[in-house]
Amino acid sequence: MKTLLEDGRIRRLLIRGTNWVGDSVMAIPALREVRRLLPRAHITLLALPWVSDIYQGSPWVDAVWLYDREGRHAGAAGRLRLVRKLARGGFDAALLLQNAFEAALLTRLAHIPLRAGYRRDGRGWLLTHAVSIDPRLKARHQTYYYLDLVERLAGRARSLDTPSPTQDRTTPELPLPPEARAQARQQLKEEGIRFQSKLVGVHPGAAFGSAKRWMGDRYAQVLDRLTQSQGVEVVLFGSRQERPIAESICGHMATRPLVLSGRTRLSELIAMIACCDLFITNDSGPMHLAAALGTPTLALFGSTDQVATGPLGPAAAVLNKNVECSPCLLRECPIDHRCMTRITVEEVFQEAVRMLRAGG
């Protein structure tokens, strides 16, 4: 593999970011490594609008450009508009963390001289530095998928040779300006949160499908018990489409929590999660946000693989029954959802209490 990421060789670098919240968080260690390798380069990240807030104020990129493929960049005319913008950017190289054929085609049409990414989706011929996927990645956390690409392009020692994620190399971190946290705290106060006790945030949804979701009535029981025994305040987060899940939980609770499903922008969600003393969640994008923020995170896993996509953070824990058919990676369970039904209310409650007490 020809070395690409050498300090001094690249003055202006374009990075095509990933498309989903969880993937974007898991790609942070790779961005951090690019910045370490290229401290003098100007780094521009091209991202979809719904994940761009993750990178605002990031110390690892200098600019964030939006790829609005449902608006300004929709259709052939919109793509051409984006190609022209990229061509005017004066980029020496493009690093494609996103895997699609289109990502390689757009940078090739923009005449960016050096184009690097994984050799997949039939796009290898469009890249000047096409990297084959290491088979060992199948048994590693997804952070390695992005980080290994960067390290191979740099010709440096590889994190794949380390058996497990390490805090300094592969743990995502999400810096948050103090003013953002203060503003989120004020917003929560205006919604009725008193901050006279600990705040528990909950994300009971999962955009991928119902197989990843713990049952709403069990969330309700845990939250009622935490409210009654620990005096916590509770806020439910999620998308607009997930609001029925939150309302169903409220219908099973003795005390109605604050429901913010569908009412927060991503930047607000990030800052509000940072205000929580504990975040209870299924495997989801907000789970990765919470762990990267350092918020104590209790993740409930069933159909997906915690080795590959579990939360990485200094205060993250996973409950997983590891049943015989898991991880199946299906959107909906075709049998009895045993991976989730075997996680009991008592287990989640006890672990939540332990984490709340550990947090001081």
Residues 216 and 325 in one domain: yes
Cα four-point dihedral sign 128, 158, 56, 269:
positive
Q: Can you list the pairs that 73-78 forms with residues at least 24 positions away whose Cβ atoms lie under 8 Å?
A: none
Q: Same domain for 231 and 349?
A: yes
CA distance 232 to 255: 11
Q: Report if residue 5 sits inside a domain.
A: no
Phi/psi of residue 129, each to 5°? -130, 85
Return d(Cα 173, Cα 314) in angstroms, integer.
Answer: 10
Residue 172 counted as domain residue: no
6 within some domain:
no
Is the per-residue pLDDT at 46 higher than 70?
A: yes
Q: Which domain holds residue 112?
A: 12-161
Which structure tokens are listed for 69?
Answer: 């493929």
163-217 pLDDT, tens digit each:
555 545 789 999 898 899 999 999 999 999 999 999 999 999 987 788 899 999 9
Neighbours of 241 (CB within 10 A): 11
- The reply to whether 145 and 228 lie within a common domain is no
User: Token pair 């709403």 is at which residue?
Assistant: 216
- Quick check: is 155 in a domain? yes
C-alpha triplet 280, 259, 180: angle, nearest 5°: 75
Q: Are strands 258-259 and 316-320 parallel, antiparallel or unpaired?
A: unpaired
Residues 155 and 195 in one domain: no
325, 352 contact by CB (below 8 A)? no
Q: Quote the pLDDT of residue 60.
A: 94
Where is the domain boundary, 134, 161, 188? 161
Mean pLDDT score, 230-243:
96
CATH code for the domain of 327? 3.40.50.2000
Do 240 and 309 share a domain, yes or no?
yes
pLDDT, residue 168, reads: 59
Total number of domains in the chain: 2
pLDDT (0 to 100) of residue 359 = 81
pTM for this predicted structure: 0.94
**Beta bridge partners of residue 259, listed in sequence order:** 236
Q: Are 295 and 199 in contact (CB under 8 A)?
A: no
Q: Does residue 202 contact residue 237 with C-beta atoms inside 8 Å?
A: yes
The pLDDT of residue 275 is above 80: yes
44 and 141 together in one domain: yes
Q: Which residues in the chain belong to E strands, given as ranges?
A: 12-16, 42-47, 63-66, 93-96, 114-118, 129-131, 199-203, 233-236, 258-259, 278-282, 297-301, 316-320
Q: What residues are paired with 235 via a beta bridge?
A: 201, 258
79-119 pLDDT per residue, tens: 999 999 999 999 999 999 999 999 999 999 999 999 999 99
Domain co-membership, 234 together with 107: no
Closest CA to 270 of 252, 248, 292: 292
